Structure 1
């Protein structure tokens, strides 16, 4: 499997089969902060223009967005016109050159069992409804090919997930049902089979079934024991959808240096969150974390996680999804190459999703759906 991942890595960069197709640039509406400035980030100039030109070809694949949860509480909304109460809408997505987003299925900690499963189903239904109501701006995507198709059509691809482990209700049959409805990431935390003690035998079977289906393992919030066991067990790359560098910010969801190094060796992906709590109060703090993760894990293992509309505060200069060009301009000023930026914004997510697709097809030729039950393995 390592050979397959190496092959994928060499073919999904600037010159491989995911090279951008020619086509018109999506309209880049100016946000109010572009006009007035926020006191943070790079001013209008050469770096910002270069950043926008790069993002027009290699848009941002945003690893975590909470819009589905927020929209459930709004009596009315229009994402095409724009919503001042949100950090995400179509004008801001276009201004920020966002080509894909993972829409989180947030489950409150108190939810478990049938209630958690039902809540996840309702959010999957809402995501389909929202995307269907905005066909000129959004498109559902379930695999790497659909991600690329949405980008080339000037739409933002919406990938359902991650969902908390409680969403599957300790049942591999429910996992398969959620996958059939579109779920593509599952967070391996807050479950009896993925706890502070690590993965149980049933938890390991969950990972194998996720590999067979093409559901990516999200390890943000998982304990170090679970993360390391999943890194060793999973045949597909693992993803940390909301994790920065613990050496720079001692947040429990951030990763220690040795785990970042292991992640790089395994060709996984660390999506650095744009939150003040995990990365710091300024745009430059976020760039520091990106530099740190790139240095330890490699340019092929770092990406972006906006975490907009999740109720968390964002660093100065990164108030909403329109601000990605300013962050990229800061990285260019720090010496990031065009190819490294292209991997950061789009190439790494595309590689991981594509590798999950390959892994699933290979696994389905070797084994059928698992019939394991938690009572049999962990009872």
Structure 2
């Protein structure tokens, strides 16, 4: 990350548900999209106009862990030590962002529950300290409210599966505290062989409370089982196309097609390692995922403040209009761009809430334990 700091500008520049949806729920589809007028008709001008109406919902940020290493910071004024202060979020026209609670150095051991709670506590404190620019959100409606108030909505998650400590009670407690996404990898019940019986019960309870499954870095058997089992849409918070770049977290074409059929959402990371060294490489992955999974199943994952190198043209969150301009040059319809940046994440959040509403009518909180189910 250090080699990218010279590129930073100063702050001054800166679901699938079996039951019908509730009657009050309104999901806006592509047919309801109204094109944005563009008097200058240049891709960058058009990109900014589209983003003004449909801002970026960024699927992954490592900011909480990055801030933990700093002795002092002010995200409202501008902070050159990170990629995503408030001025650059606004310049990049970001309307919502998921803050990762993943633990540095891996999934964690016995201390993972406490360490995740500390990350969550820090993240909530940061939002509270920057209330002029940031607002916490848990639902699609709260995300939209934050945007309408001129704030960037912050959603907490993903966290690692180890954060549960193999306890469904801890899962429910984390949800109550604000967790909205959980990565299903790196545990005995969600490993290389797939989900165990307890792992399946975790997914059912996630559906019941409204936590979205994240399948980036999960094994193929786990991915396929969750796609079949989950009644809510799933996320891949950091997965591009393996056909274009053979990274282990990227998805092969057959899985991308399955994600499309299940109406999941693949969030393509803006990193050199997974997508390539240039903005055109990232756009290639977006094209590929859209062609296989469909325009309603592809989104954006900045993956900023994670220590990953980014394409030179996308070195921080202020650069999103450059990527959208590249897509418009390639002939993307503005309606598909609106889904990519905002609509698809909103659909997943709504789907998780609808699935939870349905499941809570059908079953009480699960009392299952890993000892009882997996022996």
Same fold, TM exceeding 0.5? Answer: yes
Structure-1 separation of matches of 2:252 and 2:372: 35
Q: Which residue, out of 223, 235, 244, partners 2:231? A: 235
Q: Which residue, out of 131, 134, 157, partners 1:135? A: 131
Describe how 1:66-85 pairs up with structure 2 within 5 A: 66-85=62-81
Describe how 1:344-363 pairs up with structure 2 within 5 A: 344-363=340-359
Structure-2 separation of matches of 1:189 and 1:81: 37
Q: Is the 8 A contact 1:5 1:267 kept in 2?
A: no
Gaps spanning 5+ residues in structure 2: where?
1-14, 35-39
The equivalent residue for 1:188 is 184
Structure-2 separation of matches of 1:281 and 1:111: 28
**For residues 57-114 of structure 1, what are the alpha-carbon distances to aligned partners after superposition, in whole Å with 9 as ceiling and x for unaligned?**
1000000000000111111000011111111100000000000000000213556444
The equivalent residue for 1:63 is 59
Gaps spanning 5+ residues in structure 1: where?
21-43
Please, what TM-score do these two structures have when normalized by structure 2? 0.91
- CA 1:4 to 1:154, structure 2 compared with 1: closer, same or farther past 3 Å? farther
The equivalent residue for 1:245 is 241
Structure-2 separation of matches of 1:242 and 1:334: 23
Q: Is the 8 A contact 2:65 2:104 kept in 1?
A: no
Structure-2 separation of matches of 1:170 and 1:3: 26
Structure-2 separation of matches of 1:245 and 1:6: 33
SS in 2 for 1:361: helix
Please, what TM-score do these two structures have when normalized by structure 1? 0.90
Structure-2 separation of matches of 1:109 and 1:194: 19
The equivalent residue for 1:13 is 29
**For residues 165-224 of structure 1, what are the alpha-carbon distances to aligned partners after superposition, in whole Å with 9 as ceiling and x for unaligned?**
001110000001111100000000000000001000000000000000100000000011
**Correspondence 1:106 to 2:102:** yes
The equivalent residue for 1:160 is 156
The equivalent residue for 1:315 is 311
- CA 1:94 to 1:5, structure 2 compared with 1: closer, same or farther past 3 Å? farther
**For residues 37-58 of structure 1, what are the alpha-carbon distances to aligned partners after superposition, in whole Å with 9 as ceiling and x for unaligned?**
xxxxxxx971101100110110
Q: Is the 8 A contact 2:16 2:351 kept in 1?
A: no
Q: Runs in 1 of length 4+ with deviation above 4 angstroms?
A: 1-10
Describe how 1:223-372 pairs up with structure 2 within 5 A: 223-372=219-368
The equivalent residue for 1:373 is 369
Question: How many correspondences in the alignment?
Answer: 354
SS in 2 for 1:123: helix
SS in 1 for 2:128: helix
SS in 2 for 1:206: helix
The equivalent residue for 2:121 is 125
Deviates more, 1:259-268 or 1:4-13: 4-13
Q: Is the 8 A contact 1:63 1:101 kept in 2?
A: yes
